[in-house]
Structure 1
Amino acid sequence: MIRVTHILMMGSVLIVTIWTYGIKHESKQSAKTLVRLRGELAKQNTKISLLEADWAIMTNPDRLEKIAKKFQSQLQLQAIQSNQIIQLDELASFFSIVKNKGSDLDGHSTTDEINSLVYK
């Protein structure tokens, strides 16, 4: 009887040892994965910061003004006029015309109707 008990106890100790080793191995793998993911996250955050800084430089009004002046002959930009700005309620009718009457049967754009809304 004592031998059977000893064998059962040694078997259970062996099973618990193997189970504990499995848990330890899984936790080490999870820790490695966590470290790797944190490193990737830090790299991505760095990239985002660099892109935001680049965006701030690219959209700097002074820079854009210099570029607009430099390429004025090709771009043919003009200053915006107050009658080109429409109200929010006018915007809904603008989109319904574009959606319903974007082009006629021949494929020609209906810009006259759009221009009448934009250039009131």
Structure 2
Amino acid sequence: MTRLTIALTAVLALALSIGVFRITYQVDELEKQLHSLNNEILDEQETIHILKAEWSYLNDPSRLESLAKRYLDLEEMRGEQLVTFDSLNNPAALPPDPNTTPAKLEQ
């Protein structure tokens, strides 16, 4: 009976030590994954920071104004271009478009 108890105790101790050994390696692997994920998060946060700075530069009003003046052929708005909602329902009340000539209307 004592030999059986000693054998069972030895087998149980061996099984438990193997289990602890496997769990230790699993924890080490999970810690490596966690470290890797934390590094990726830091890299992504740095990328987001850089992209936000670039976005701020690209949306700078003075920069956009100079680009609009350089590439868009815009003119200042004239007072006769303003209309009311009521005049939108009645096309006859709208002011004539200065860019349209009677020849353009006939075509």
* Fold match by TM threshold 0.5: yes
Partner of 2:68: 68
> Structure 1 residues 42 and 79 mapped into 2: Cα distance closer, same or farther (>3 Å)?
farther
Q: Distance in 1 between matches of 2:82 and 2:55?
A: 31
Q: Distance in 2 between matches of 1:27 and 1:79?
A: 68
Partner of 1:32: 32
Partner of 1:10: 10
Identical-residue share of aligned pairs (%) = 27
> Structure 1 residues 13 and 63 mapped into 2: Cα distance closer, same or farther (>3 Å)?
same
Uncovered stretches (5+) of structure 2, i.e. residues with no partner: 92-107
Q: Indicate the structure whose relative CO is greater, using CA pairs within 8 Å and at least 6 residues apart.
A: 1
2:74 is equivalent to residue 77 of structure 1: yes
Question: Counterpart of 2:51 in structure 1: which amino acid?
Answer: L
Partner of 2:98: none
> Structure 1 residues 83 and 36 mapped into 2: Cα distance closer, same or farther (>3 Å)?
farther
> Structure 1 residues 19 and 60 mapped into 2: Cα distance closer, same or farther (>3 Å)?
same
Deviation at 1:79, TM superposition (A): 5.2
Question: Counterpart of 2:74 in structure 1: which amino acid?
Answer: L
Q: TM-score, normalised by structure 1?
A: 0.62
Question: Counterpart of 2:70 in structure 1: which amino acid?
Answer: K
Q: Please, what is the CA RMSD of the aligned residues?
A: 2.8
Uncovered stretches (5+) of structure 1, i.e. residues with no partner: 87-112
SS in 2 for 1:31: helix
Deviation at 1:78, TM superposition (A): 4.4
Partner of 2:97: none
